[in-house]
Amino acid sequence: MPAEQVILIIVLVFVILTTGYSVFTGISPVPSSPTSYAKIEEILLDEGVTRVVDLGAGWGCLLMPLAAAMPEVQFLGYELSPFPLVFARLRGALFRRRNVRIERQDLRKTSFQGADAVICYLYSELLEKLRPNLERDLKPGTIVVSNVFDIPGWRPEAVHRLDCSQCPQVYVYRVPDRTAAAAAAGVGMGGLTA
């Protein structure tokens, strides 16, 4: 079999599997922009975080630049789709990112305990489904930074508008104290909006 055919078969398998996982999960791996990861890096540095979880790490386009810029911080990326996962792992190994670990996980079945920051580039509908897990697993005050999409039911602490059409905003949230905020606001769990 000629090399061109082998390459074509590999590319087709790659496209079919990536498309299949995108249909299955409802998410296609889309890279973050340099503008957005620069803003997210600034936010994380200001917070002085030590353990960051990336929900839906994809190709590592957000995770790897952050890990390079913040070598003292431990990063854990979760990705379900196999090709972006393998690519991100190879990227981490190639650039010797010892502060990065990427695991194959379904975010809906994963615990986020132990993180003092969560970053993500996921669409709002999935973030709404993950919100109960974030509320359950993360300590009150934990920072959650969402690239582009809001988390329905949570009020952002800040929304940073970016000069970038691909990633026009970054949302910053804090996990609320569920009992105190609910009692004070009278709106249900964690002082979340109705």
Q: Write the single-letter amino acid at 95.
A: F
φ and ψ at 99, to 5 degrees?
Answer: -95, 15
On whether the CB atoms of residues 168 and 174 are closer than 8 A, the answer is no
66-107 confidence digits (pLDDT tens):
999 999 999 999 999 888 899 999 999 999 999 999 999 999
146-182 confidence digits (pLDDT tens):
999 999 999 999 999 998 777 889 999 999 887 544 5
Q: Write the single-letter amino acid at 80.
A: L
The two tokens of residue 150 are 């809001």
pTM over 0.95: no
Q: What's the number of CA atoms in the CB half-sphere (13 Å) around residue 163?
A: 0
Which class for 86: exposed (0-12), middle (13-18), buried (19 or more C-beta within 10 A)? Answer: middle
116-155 confidence digits (pLDDT tens):
999 999 999 999 999 999 999 999 999 999 999 999 999 9
Q: What is the pLDDT, as a whole number, of residue 23?
A: 56
The two tokens of residue 148 are 């582009």
The separation between CA 191 and the C-alpha centre of its own chain, rounded to angstroms, equals 23
Mean pLDDT value of segment 31-41: 85
4-16 confidence digits (pLDDT tens):
776 666 666 666 6
Which class for 106: exposed (0-12), middle (13-18), buried (19 or more C-beta within 10 A)? Answer: exposed
Q: Assign 45 to helix, strand or coil.
A: helix
**What are the chain's domains?**
32-191 (3.40.50.150)
How many Å is the Cα radius of gyration of the chain? 18
**Neighbouring residues of 130: CB distance < 8 A, sequence distance ≥ 6:** 55, 107, 108, 122
